[in-house]
Structure 1
Amino acid sequence: MKKLFVPAMLSALLMLLQSDGELSAQTNMYGTGQWDRCEFGNHRVVIEVNDDAPAAQVHIPWRRLDDPGNKSVILVDASTGRSIHNFHFRAINKEFADLIFEPATGKGKYYLYYLPYKNTGSWYFPNTVYPAAEKITDPQWNLKYEGKELSQAHVVRFESVTEFDSFDPMETVATASEVEELLLVNKNKGFLLFPEDRKHPIRMDSDIPLRWVQRKDGEPFNAIVMRNEFFAFQLGIYTPFRELRNVQLAFTDLLSTQGATISKSVIRCFNLAGINWLGKPFTKAVHIQKGKVQPLWIGVDLPSDTRPGAYEGEITVQAEGVDRKVKIRLEVQDSLLTDRGYGELFRMARLNWLDSKIGLDDSIYKPYTPIQLQGNTIRILGRELRFDRYGLPDKITSDFSGSNDRVGAPARDILSGPMRLLVFRNDKELIWKGGKPVITLKTAGAVSWKTQLRNGRSLLEIDAKMECDGYIDYQVTLSAGEDLALDDIQLQIPYAHEAATYMMGLGRKGGKRPEHWEWKWDKQMANNMLWLGDMNAGLQCKLKHESPDWSLYNFSKTGTYKDWSNEGLGGCTLHDEGQDKGRVLFKAFTGRKMLRKGQTIHLNFGLLITPVKPLDNSHWNERYFQADPPMDNWRKEAMKKGATVMNVHQGNLLNPYINYPFITTDTLKRYINTNRRSGIRTKIYYTVRELSNYAPEIWAFRSLGDEIFTPGLGAQLADQFADDGLGGNLYAKGGSWLVEHLRTRYDAAWHTPLEGGEYDMSIRTQGLSRLHNYYLEGLAWLVRNTGMRGIYLDGVGYDREIMKRVRKVLDRSADSCLIDFHSGNNFSASYGMNSPANQYMELFPCINSLWLGEGYNYNEGPDYWLTEMAGLPFGLYGEMLNGCGNPYRGMLYGMTSRLGWVGCDPSSVWKLWDEFGIQQSRMIGYWDPNIPVKCNQDDVKVTVYQKEDKLLIVYASWAKEDLHIGLSLNWNALKMAPAAVSVYAPGVNSLQEKQTSLNLDDLPVPAGKGGFIIISKKQ
């Protein structure tokens, strides 16, 4: 969706990323200055001319990473601000440049801006264009001074526009001669070692910094640490002589002279091993090509009872055929770091979060109840599943009723018979024999069972896990004990005809179910899921990959799921077999498949029984302000109009850096506390999928290869920049900081303009990785340390397993935390022809509300509203976005727009809620056959909100012309007498005038509009 565009924090605040509150280490040759980066770029050389000669020469040892040969520069007279056109490079390369120029005003300072750029593309996905060098020097002037001795100017210093943009010290490149000398001294070593502290993340992967040639290879690492600190540092490995294969680290205990020990068991390297997002340990193979630099980030998890003193030990770096040692010395101070160092970004202690298992368990979470297991029947909130001897469901029922606001009604069948997994060979179904399913796990939140079946030498294993929210994960493997030429493998789900009213999925948008539907696998369309159901009973089936993945739009990363798709032969069909048979048959099939002896295939799938929970009437008091106006007005506007929940997006003073809110937590905390005193709960935008370039851990994450960030082309090296065909300009994807510092292997993602021409520039993250563990720990930390009460998700960059952890982390960190989820409409070819309500359905059990917005057509029919946008069949209320929606149609589903978003103001409808007392009412929608109010026009739908003594009738038209309608009321069902009630139309600002006299048999309804009527018992 559209992100907010407001000024961001001052650059000085950003420097907290670089140090303990001080600037990063510099010599006097490096500093910052002030200028318009949009005109001149981020870097300049300050040159001093000491006399009034007509021409001067200066040697510029700029030590650059990029190739400057064809890039434009801008030379400016500091005293006048005017550009100088007469200049010429006698020599220019990555290491240095020799510049002759005409000092326009004689002696004084001159600025050479050496990476000027322009942004093209959109502001949120820009390209950086580096203009090609132009011939602007007067040829006669050039000839006049060619080869002559000139007055010598000198470089005062190199400046960047902010400290954050600086190349110093870790991108100040050592020269070829300096490196040659270093290698000569160390020629007998297999590789070189350079320990580095946390304040100087290693950034370059092929060059080494000047800082390293000024030190000795393999010198001991010394640091001052605190008790209870998670201490992080780096070990830089440089391989000028040979490739290193299978790099490993071995740690010794750290021993003090007083006999105390820091055990080697508390030391680990993030590059070599870790805990994945599912809580499973893994190891990584690290190979370092010849001529490359590899940082290894190491963490020391210091216990709180560590005795003060100096501790010494060794790290051995091992690779195939070579090893080396480096000493480590930690001085432990006699002070306790209570939060492990997480609250101070410069410490990099949060790297510890990468291996967190927070929220990983099978416990129940709100509002779910403990699972009841009796034999092969599993009872959860509002639903029941029974599995057969194969471990597959043979009965699924729902006892939700009304508008999903209650459970306990007579059970309704979702299936008309057992689900079946059929294997055909030689036109016959294979018969599988084996024992009964065995329960392998039983907790309050989950039940697992396993079935092993055999046909001859072949084995069919069905592992299932059902959770308290109605999700069932099936892991199915078929192992061939002999060569098998199979005709087909089919998963058959017979839906009960009565329940299978609506459909979403398999490339079809939400609405009434067709009689027949066919679908085939397509690499560009990750729409491999189907939901069939109605308001109170439904089932989603999603065909799944062998390995967990979160392919939202296409299968470009994983390919179509090979065992299901079977090289294009697989697919799905849906067929209505008629009311008399009472079923709608869904069939997923593989087509003909040849299995060789010993081959195993995976036919995994997931099921979700809907609704996932009863509708929560807290919705009526959760009135959203979606922050968009200037920040100073947010709270005032929210209080004035009656909002009770505020979302703080990214890209503003409170939360400037996308998915990295930790830089401004003090500001956030103050704002959130003031909101709370005003009766407003505050939630913030915080997710994964992309990460701000201001995250201090970005270099540590990059050192992990492609584990955290997607491996895009980035900017490529400067000498490989693409020519735009318009005069030789060099351009690269993303903002200038990404191009100049990250350079390679990144995908530019969302960019937000900040103050002073700066940008928050994010890069894309992997769909599932250890970053999600970090994210979850960060979520808990934010709730505890800022007082926020939930998150706003604009798209979701993680799967159901992470979403469950998010829910549990929030619930355990504070009461009343909310998760609301927003998405634009993904039902287009570019997004894989997916309806987000179907695409994200497996996350819905953990979410409080929906805001499905851009690209939705509010003129589509009621069936589309119900299935695609409203959320009601799944147990969630939703809200409207595009053009603020249609307030009449929205109220049929309990939906309004959000205050503050692009001029939307639902406050008049909120006032209607309060006037009527909607919090104590029960919604009875037009979809309910027992609705007590009916309309005589099919194009006008009616929803009733019923209390004991009062009734709110909402009606809305889909007709293209003005109508007159009649409403008929079932007075007995309403327990009202027509003569003992008052009927009136309440005044709703901008929607309808108050009317005290109404004829329910003749109500005018303008096209596309509707109205509100209150009926109450006379006192």
Structure 2
Amino acid sequence: MYQSLISLTLCCTWIAGAADTGITNAFEDLKHQGTIREEDSPMRVGASTEAMEALIQSEPEAQWFCFPDQREMALRDSRILPKRWADMSSLRRGVLTLKASPGEYFVYQLGLFAARADMKDVSVEFSPLKNDEGQEISPRGMTCFNAGGVDVYGKPFHRAVNVVRGNLQSLWIGVDIPDSAFGPYKGTVTITPRRGLSRTVAVTLDVQGLPVQAHGDDEGYRMSRLRWLNSSIGHGDKPTAPYTPLAVIPSESGTDIQYLGGVLRLGRNGLPSMARTFYNEANTLIPRVQNDILADSMRLVVETDKGPVTWTSGELKVARESDGKVVWTAQSVGSGMELICTGTFEFDGFSDIRLNLKSDRDLDVKDVRLEVPFTEYASKYFMGLGRRGGFFPEKGIDWKWNVEKKHQDSFWIGNVNAGMRMLFKGDGYKRPLVNVYYKYGRLRLPESWGNGGEGGIRIAPDGKGKVLAGIFTGPRTLKAGKSLDFNMELLITPVKPLDWKHQVEERYYHSNSDVSSEYVKAARDKGANIINIHHKKDIYPFINYPYYDASVGDLKSFIGQAHQEGLKVKAYYTTREISIKIPEIWAMRSLGGEIIMDGPGKDATTVTNPKGPDKWLVDNFGTHFVPAWHNAFNHGKYAGEMDLSVLTTPDSRWNNYYLEGLDWMVRNIGLDGIYIDDSALDRESMKRGRRVLDADGKRRSVDMHSWNHMNAWAGYANSLLIYADLFPFIDRLWIGEGFSPNSSPDFWMVEISGIPFGIMSETLNSHNYWRGMIHGMTPRLGWSGDPSSIWKIYDALNMAEARMLGYWNPSCPVIASSPDVKATAYVMKDKALVVLANWTNKDVDTVLTLDAGKLGFVPGKASLPDMPGIQNMEASIDLSSPLSLKGGKGMFILLEK
């Protein structure tokens, strides 16, 4: 390789085109007003006081009443008895006769009214439904959704059903009808409180007509999709792409677990003693590259008056449970204490470690702390604990728990190719709410790490080439026989190799226009090949419910049209909130706070609802909810209509429903992926979603957006920390709503670019063509700028085959003489595109130094590509004079052999 340094200076008459700074602000949608269009329902009409009294007196001994009814007559308010039910005769209250279709998952409801006493631990028992020929529908195919089901982790659970005196409760029942069923099927359903008499309802389902497809899931009005709540779709331990099976390798130094990106070594105490990645500075996997994250073993220190406890560890027991998961356990004892470490490690570098500490006597200790020594190399950058992302602070970190105001329980420390995210939690951990809703779902202070607010984290260089993190509790008393759970999550970064090829080839169009008729043309004309469909669109009107009956046909037609033009289509789809327009909204409401997040209801205020909830929510929901996003249509099919939403509870069965909905869209309307906005999705659900998308081997992508959480509403959190454990299953980031383009390069690196995590990103409010492309980022067409000039350069140079050698990479062949100018080179066989970014708002002159050996060729020609909207060029090029860069701008320079 030719190894000489060539000082190349370029001079030109520079004319910067007017940059497209137009950025869509979705918050503008909150200003729009409209109406909720819904059919009037008899269930909105409450019974008079006289009618309620007459009902109660009709059965003087009855403590409660049951009202069987059809799915269309959903109970709306648990405090108001509908007139329809109060008028129901005693005979009618004991009989339910409804029509159903063969193959349908049929849904009906049982309304309970606790007239004279509380109803506790209500149980529901089904008999078989039999027809005249003796054929039957087994009770195994019947479900009461209120009484339990299958949780987000695939485990069955039971849920107590209680009704407070004077209130009502709907029980939603599902019946799985076979395709072969025909005619009347008769049976019973019996409702029994823990104390009190049972009531039995005679149920007749008259099954008629042709079998419906997919259990009726293709038509939302049937509400058969309620069965999705108990789905286990996507569960398993098989690695998702691009990951490989785990390998467990015992050695004298410990037990190594090898995965795609590196290796984790466990010591005899069960804690990591080594964490190492195999990535070079371009985040390409190179097995011979070894970057150590840990400088030494992690250890739990219990400090007493006599000094730290000396632990004696037994045998480390490690088992490869599957291709995708390794589990282990270890026991250590010392000074009358027992420490049991259990852990899991997964195929993407994620581990969940639980430390259970128990003393055989009451013992006052000075401190219990986890010590984690990081290498100097893997301590270049830091993010978390109230610190914006960037270089590790010279003075270190000194932080204490404050869950009331701060969504802070984790940090990331690392370099671009070697790092670790650590999250600390206790027993009974529940994930908090994200975005502006933190005050309605805060972190729980862990009894272990938090120690009543005395606990905290200190991280500082130790003066010996290491950076030592101490996660401490401070003085405390260990009670005899009482366990403390010091639990944590680790994620080794990068989570996967950077995918520059797809970053170049997949080009997004993302519009906020209500009307979609011009989307395909606008995308195609500018060179985009993926269209993201936001909600509040004529083909997707209501948030997080893309399969709404009245619009899903339009969405399917749009996808078909886009496919004919060679474009892919993805839809906004997340779990933070749900529209009140979903057919099952009242059934979800009947589940209490399981799916619809509990909250102050009419008294709730947020940034998105500063004056409280919309009147419709106040009138119809009243209590026990948190209002979320809302918007109205100005144009198109739904002009004048309003969409309201309420927050969902993290880690609920709604995730199961969401994943089944994803699968349904892939199979039925040809969806090519999803766009996730600040989400309540947990890691397990995101992993399941990845399996759903990849099931048939077709490439479908997931891109994720997040708002800036570093504010009081969101608990001063770092967006990337909140979602880091989802990154292994995401293809692209779109971070930076609320981030300034004038942030420092180290902030761009850590909090915007995605590079240290192995995922590439796009710019949003941090929109700057030059600073973006230093990190391989462009704005998103239709929402945050016009990248079409860059896309044309991609095509002209075949840049999908280029190597990105960034300014942070020692292999970068370009160095600018000014420290305020950063240079990244995209290198091909005999040419390279060099991008320069001026990180000041003042004009800067700089000289470039090129290393031909690193470049791979001796450049004989340098030019400025014509890039309308970014740079326009006059013909003069002088290799002997400095470059003049305008403040806040830069250059795209083409080098050719």
Both proteins in one fold, TM over 0.5: yes
What corresponds to 2:308 in structure 1? 429
> Which residues of 2 match residues 166-177 of structure 1 at below 5 A?
166=40, 168-177=41-50
Matching residue's letter, 2:454:
L
Q: How does 1:757-768 map to 2 (within 5 A)?
A: 757-768=640-651
Q: Which residue of 2 aligns with 1:123?
A: 31
Mean Cα deviation higher: 423-432 or 597-606 = 423-432
Q: Which residue of 2 aligns with 1:890?
A: 772
Q: Distance in 1 between matches of 2:618 and 2:300?
A: 52
- The residue that corresponds to 2:284 in the other structure is 405
Please give the secondary structure, in 2, of the residue aligned with 1:465. Answer: strand
**Secondary structure in 1 aligned to 2:517?**
helix
- The answer as to 2:60 corresponding to 1:187 is yes
Instruction: Determine helix, strand or coil for the equivalent of 2:619.
Output: helix
| Contact 2:248-2:320 within 8 A present in 1 as well | no
In 1: Cα distance, 2:422 partner to 2:694 partner: 28
Report if aligned partners of 2:373, 2:467 keep a CA contact under 8 Å in 1: yes
Residue of structure 2 aligned with 1:571, choices 456, 465, 468: 456
Shift of 1:307: 6.1
Shift of the 650–988 alpha-carbon distance from structure 1 to 2, 3 Å rule, reads same
Distance in 1 of aligned mates of 2:748 and 2:306: 44
Aligned to 2:727: 844
One-letter identity of the residue aligned with 1:631: S
The answer to whether the aligner puts 1:640 opposite 2:525 as a matched pair is yes
Which 4+ residue blocks in structure 1 deviate beyond 6 angstroms? none
The answer as to 2:781 corresponding to 1:899 is yes
Contact map agreement 1:968 1:1001 (CA 8 A) in 2:
no
Quote the residue 1:618 is aligned against: 502
User: Is residue 2:38 matched to residue 1:164?
Assistant: yes
- 1:713 positional shift: 2.6
For residues 632 and 4 of structure 1, the distance between their equivalents in structure 2, rounded to whole angstroms, comes to 23
Aligned-residue offset at 1:557: 3.8
Matches of 1:304 and 1:967, distance apart in 2: 73
On the 8 A contact 1:228/1:304 being kept in 2, the answer is yes
Deviates more, 1:866-875 or 1:334-343: 334-343
Q: CA deviation at 1:866?
A: 0.6
Given the superposition, is the C-alpha separation of residues 705 and 451 from structure 1 closer, same or farther in structure 2, using an over 3 Å criterion? Answer: same
Match of 2:489 in 1: 606
Counterpart selection for 1:733 from 612, 615, 629: 612
How far 1:945 moved relative to its partner? Answer: 0.7
Cα-to-partner distance string for 1:72-99 (whole Å, 9 max, x where unaligned): xxxxxxxxxxxxxxxxxxxxxxxxxxxx
* Residue identity opposite 2:893 in structure 1: I
Q: What one-letter code is carried by the residue in structure 1 that aligns with 2:129?
A: L
Quote the residue 2:817 is aligned against.
936
Q: 1:114-151: per-residue Cα shift (whole Å, max 9, x none)?
A: xxxxxxxx537x8x9xxxxxxxxxxxxxxxxxxxxxxx
Determine whether 1:273 maps to 2:157.
no
The reply to whether residue 1013 of structure 1 matches residue 893 of structure 2 is yes
Tell me what 1:748 maps to. Answer: 627
Following the alignment from structure 1 to structure 2, what is the Cα–Cα distance between the partners of residues 460 and 279?
30
State the alpha-carbon separation in 1 of the partners of residues 37 and 867 from structure 2.
Answer: 55
Q: 1:996 to 1:848 in 2, by over 3 A?
A: farther
2:582 maps to what in 1?
Answer: 695
Task: Please tell me whether the aligned partners of residues 198 and 346 of structure 1 are also in contact (alpha carbons under 8 angstroms).
Answer: no
C-alpha distance in 2 between matches for 1:862 and 1:163: 49
Moved more, 888-897 or 306-315: 306-315
For 1:316 and 1:239, locate their aligned partners in 2 and report how far apart those are by CA, in whole Å. Answer: 13
Equivalent residue in structure 2 for 1:261, among 127, 131, 136: 136
C-alpha displacement of 1:334: 6.2
In the alignment, structure 1 residue 949 sits paired with structure 2 residue 857: no
Counterpart selection for 1:3 from 17, 23, 26: 26
* Cα shift readout 1:507-545 (whole Å, capped 9, x = no counterpart): 111111123210110121112211111111111111123
Tell me, what secondary structure is at the counterpart of 1:499?
helix
Deviation at 1:287, TM superposition (A): 1.8
Give distance in 1, aligned partners of 2:178 and 2:197.
33
How far off is 1:951 after superposition?
Answer: 1.1
Mapped pair 1:676 → 2:563: yes
Aligned to 2:330: 451
Query: 1:422-445 CA distances to partner (integer Å, 9 max, x unpaired)?
Result: 222224222333432222442111
1:692-748 deviations in Å (ceiling 9; x for gaps)? 1111111001111111112223237xxxx99xxxxxxxx983223212222222211
2:96 matches 1:221:
yes
CA contact (8 A) 2:339 2:357 kept: yes
TM-superposed CA distance for 1:756, in Å, is 5.4
Shift in Å, 1:305: 4.7
- What SS is found at the alignment partner of 1:802? helix
Is the 8 Å Cα contact of residues 527 and 839 (structure 1) preserved in structure 2? no
Choose from 800, 805, 817 the match for 1:919: 800
Counterpart contact for 1:4–1:628, Cα < 8 Å: no
* Residue aligned with 1:232, SS: strand
Q: In 1, Cα distance between the equivalents of 2:87 and 2:36?
A: 25
Q: Which moved more, 1:779-788 or 1:539-548?
A: 539-548
Q: What's the secondary structure of 1:472's corresponding residue?
A: strand
User: d(CA) in 2 for partners of 1:212 and 1:540?
Assistant: 55
Provide the rounded CA distance (Å) in 2 between the counterparts of 1:810 and 1:823: 21
Query: Cα deviations across residues 221-241 of structure 1 (Å, max 9, x unaligned)?
Result: 112223332111111111212
User: Is 2:883 the partner of 1:1003?
Assistant: yes
CA distances 1:143-186 after superposition (whole Å, capped 9, x unpaired): xxxxxxxxxxxxxxxxxx987152x3112122222222222222
- The 5 A counterparts of 1:389-400 are 389-400=268-279
Q: 1:321: Cα distance to partner?
A: 2.9
Give yes or no for contact 1:965–1:1001 (8 Å, CA) kept in 2.
Answer: no
Q: Which residue of 1 aligns with 2:699?
A: 816
CA distance in structure 1 between the partners assigned to 2:345 and 2:876 by the alignment: 54
Is the 8 Å Cα contact of residues 190 and 198 (structure 2) preserved in structure 1? no
Counterpart code for 1:1014: L
Q: What is the CA-CA distance between 1:870 and the residue it aligns to?
A: 0.5
Paired position in structure 1 for 2:115: 240
Q: CA deviation at 1:831?
A: 2.1
Which whole-Å CA distance do the structure 2 matches of 1:352 and 1:481 have between them?
48
Residue 734 of structure 1 contacts residue 761 of structure 1 at CA under 8 Å; is this kept in 2? no
Structure 1 residues 382 and 558, CA gap change in structure 2 (3 angstroms): closer
Distance in 2 separating the partners of 1:838 and 1:162? 37
Name the CA distance, whole Å, in 2 between partners of 1:774 and 1:852. Answer: 27
Aligned to 1:210: 83
Change in 2 beyond 3 A, CA 1:321/1:595? farther
Could you say what secondary structure the match of 1:329 adopts?
strand
Distance 1:238 1:389 in 2: 59
Q: Which moved more, 1:553-562 or 1:782-791?
A: 553-562
Q: How many residues align?
A: 849
Residue equivalent to 2:426: 545
Structure 1: any 5+ residue segments left out of the alignment? Answer: 7-121, 129-160, 723-730
1:594 to 477, 480, 495: 477
1:319 aligned counterpart, secondary structure: coil
CA distance in structure 2 between the aligned counterparts of 1:974 and 1:798, rounded to whole angstroms? 43
Question: 2:759: which partner in 1?
Answer: 876
TM-fit CA distance, 1:308 = 5.0
Q: What secondary structure is seen at the aligned counterpart in 1 of 2:695?
A: helix
**In the TM superposition, what is the alpha-carbon distance from 1:906 to its structure 2 partner?**
1.1
Change (3 A) 1:434 1:334: farther
Consecutive unaligned residues in structure 2, runs of 5 or more: 1-23
TM-score by length of 1: 0.80
The one-letter amino acid paired with 1:1004 is: S
Partner of 1:464: 343
- The whole-number CA distance in structure 2 between the counterparts of 1:532 and 1:178 is 66
CA distance in 2, matches of 1:650, 1:826: 22
Please tell me the residue identity of whatever aligns with 1:489. Answer: V
Equivalents in 1 of 2:782, 2:121: separation in Å?
55
Q: 1 CA distance for matches of 2:188 and 2:583?
A: 28
* Structure 1 counterpart of 2:244, from 356, 359, 369: 369
Counterpart for residue 805 of structure 1 = 688
Equivalent runs, 1:270-669 vs 2, <5 Å:
270-306=145-181, 309-333=184-208, 335-375=210-250, 376-455=255-334, 458-515=337-394, 516-523=396-403, 524-551=405-432, 554=438, 557-578=442-463, 581-616=464-499, 617-629=501-513, 630-663=515-548, 664-669=551-556
Contact 1:5–1:651 (8 Å) recurs in 2: no
Secondary structure in structure 2 of the residue aligned to 1:401: coil
Partners of 1:318 and 1:324 within 8 A in 2: no
